[in-house]
Amino acid sequence: MLSMLSGTHTPQSGGASPGGSQTGATTPIETHPEQIQHAPIQQSTKPRKRIVVAMTGATGAILGIKVLIALRRLNIETHLVMSKWAEATIKYETDYHPSNVRALADHVHNINDMAAPVSSGSFKTEGMIVVPCSMKTLAAIHSGFCDDLISRTADVMLKERRKLVLVARETPLSDIHLRNMLEITRSGAIIFPPVPAYYIRAASVDDLVDQSVGRMLDMFDLDTGDFTRWEGWEK
């Protein structure tokens, strides 16, 4: 266990699914978990806000990891669901192990546990973010084919009119992808491709990732304070 995660207790609704190595992945991103510092969690008497975070096997695992880190720092209660291919991608692309990622969340639910609290519309939450979101998961959500906890929880967000942000990772996009995106947007979801902002003149990939994560959480009216916002041309 990494030093930054030591002593963290994470309740789980079920065991993790095993994952193998993923073929055809993009170039791994250099990440160093031990260098990421956590700000102290602010104490409050108000009930904590809840957000469901789902991670699929699409490339870009570091985006989901940094979303969890940012939400932890903002004292948001997180409910994590990971697919088996998300676990494989985490190991392939980053220096994290899936157990380290699970430890970043307040609650972890097995993807096959259809009785988990997040599967019900009575479970109160600010919304859900699927990051990264594969085209398979996008298609399942679009069709209402709730064969796992990720697609079921996303379906709940749509029917309850709650925030659903899908960080879609694919390029180029086929007409099938685009049609699914258009129709699911009409149902209330937000499609958020992690497009880098070059105006920040990033010095590293981490800077680009932080900017994308900050903009994702803007969708939930949460400010990470981790990136430079556009304020017009510099003089």
Phi, psi of 37 (to 5 degrees): -100, 140
Tokens for 223, please give them. Answer: 């400010």
Describe the strand order of the beta sheet including 107-109 as a list of residue ranges: 107-109, 77-82, 50-55, 127-133, 163-168, 190-191
Q: DSSP code of 35?
A: G
The answer to whether 135 is annotated as binding is yes
CA dist., res. 92 & res. 96, Å (int): 9
Contact indicator for 95, 32 with CB cutoff of 8 Å: yes
CA dist., res. 117 & res. 92, Å (int): 30
The answer to whether 134 is annotated as binding is yes
Residues 6+ apart with CB under 8 A from 27: none
The answer to whether 144 is annotated as binding is no
The answer to whether 13 is annotated as binding is no
**H-only helix segments in 74-190:** 84-93, 98-102, 135-143, 149-159, 175-186
Strands in the chain per DSSP E: 50-55, 77-82, 107-109, 127-133, 163-168, 190-191
The answer to whether 136 is annotated as binding is yes
Contact indicator for 2, 103 with CB cutoff of 8 Å: no
The answer to whether 83 is annotated as binding is yes
CA dist., res. 164 & res. 125, Å (int): 11
Residues in the annotated binding site for FMN: 57-59, 83, 134-137, 169
Residues in the annotated binding site for dimethylallyl phosphate: 199, 215
Residues in the annotated binding site: 57-59, 83, 134-137, 169, 199, 215
